[in-house]
Amino acid sequence: MVPALASLLLALAGPGPVGDAPAAPAPRADGPAGAPTRLADPDDVKRLCASLAPVERLRVKGDAVARGDAERAHDVARDRALAGRYEASVPAATLGLAYDAGQGVLALVEPAQLPIAEGTARLWPALDSGLPVEVDAATARRLVEAQRAGLLVLRLEFALPDDAACGTGARGTRFTLPVEPIAWRWTNSDTAIAAGGAAAERPLATAALGARPRVTVGAPVAGPAEARRRVADRASALEACYGEALRRAPALDGVIVAHVGGGRAAIAADSVGDAELAACVVRAIGPAGGAAGAVPIRFELVSAKGAGSPGAER
């Protein structure tokens, strides 16, 4: 199961003119490789949309060599942007919701437009466009009541279609972007109420509600068996990293695959999506000798009645 997850994580890894810049800037990454790029403010959206602009829309001054260099650099930036994963928080006050009591499914009323980054952009889900979640009637009522109180937020992780480009408004200050949802959570403040996509397989328990954090170091998905011991020896530091992360975001969980050996640690894959936790993991493992290996570290929340005890398995 762990090797399959690691493979999945690794796999995840009408526009207006761009202007006179020689190449579009790449979207800003918030942390180590594998962590989604946050689209939180207008500048984040502008950077991404500039990177996604078709190369033929570039406005480049200079001779043929300068233009060729600029087009090549832009192609590289666009490929990097298309290969990335992204996350955004969507205020849900204006979103239409529909509940199918017979199926026990709550979804967005389609066609859905998801405002992000202070209204700078609207996302159009190209897949799972209603972002459905399976909930009972009581949970559906909690979602509706949270929306009515102005507290409901949709937290969306997504990838981009291969031909993605931003549509631009008349003034060039508003954008639309097709997206392919990966995971989504409906939250009331920091409390997750329901989840869909890949997030549906994760527990909704949060540290704020008394769930206990647990860190488990698994067998290497690549490299020698002793690579696991090198990571498990850092159990206390890894638990401290997770505890700090949960103070920022009480519902965090997932798997980070750490590359160890060769003199330094790095992140090979990450389904948690928290850049600060990933950076803390790299620091906790620190320089490591020995043969290189890729070791999965599971960060999860278990209810007070959950089996097992917190701590990394040794």
Q: Cα(255)–Cα(273) distance, rounded to whole angstroms?
A: 9
Sign (positive or negative) of CA dihedral 108, 109, 113, 115: negative
pLDDT exceeds cutoff 70 at 193: yes
pLDDT confidence of 209, banded at 50, 70, 90?
A: low
Question: Could you read off the pLDDT of 15-69 as tens digits, one per residue?
Answer: 333 333 334 444 444 333 346 788 999 999 999 999 999 887 777 778 888 888 8
- 55 vs 8, more confident: 55
pLDDT of amino acid 304:
52
pLDDT confidence of 210, banded at 50, 70, 90?
A: low
pLDDT of amino acid 204:
65
Rounded to whole angstroms, the maximal C-alpha distance in the chain is 69
End-to-end CA distance of the chain: 19
pLDDT of amino acid 272:
87
Q: What is the rounded average pLDDT of the residues 248-258?
A: 85
Among 45-49, 162-166, 207-211, 220-224, which stretch is predicted with the lowest mean pLDDT?
Answer: 207-211
- Residue 69's SS3 state is helix
CB 221, CB 6: distance < 8 Å = yes
Burial of 224 (0-12, 13-18, 19+ CB in 10 A): middle
Q: What does the mean pLDDT of the chain come to?
A: 82
Q: Cα(115)–Cα(108) distance, rounded to whole angstroms?
A: 13
pLDDT of amino acid 144:
95
pLDDT confidence of 250, banded at 50, 70, 90?
A: confident
Question: Could you read off the pLDDT of 87-129 as tens digits, one per residue?
Answer: 999 999 999 999 999 999 999 998 889 999 998 999 999 888 9
pLDDT of amino acid 126:
86
Question: Could you read off the pLDDT of 273-293 as tens digits, one per residue?
Answer: 888 999 999 999 988 677 889
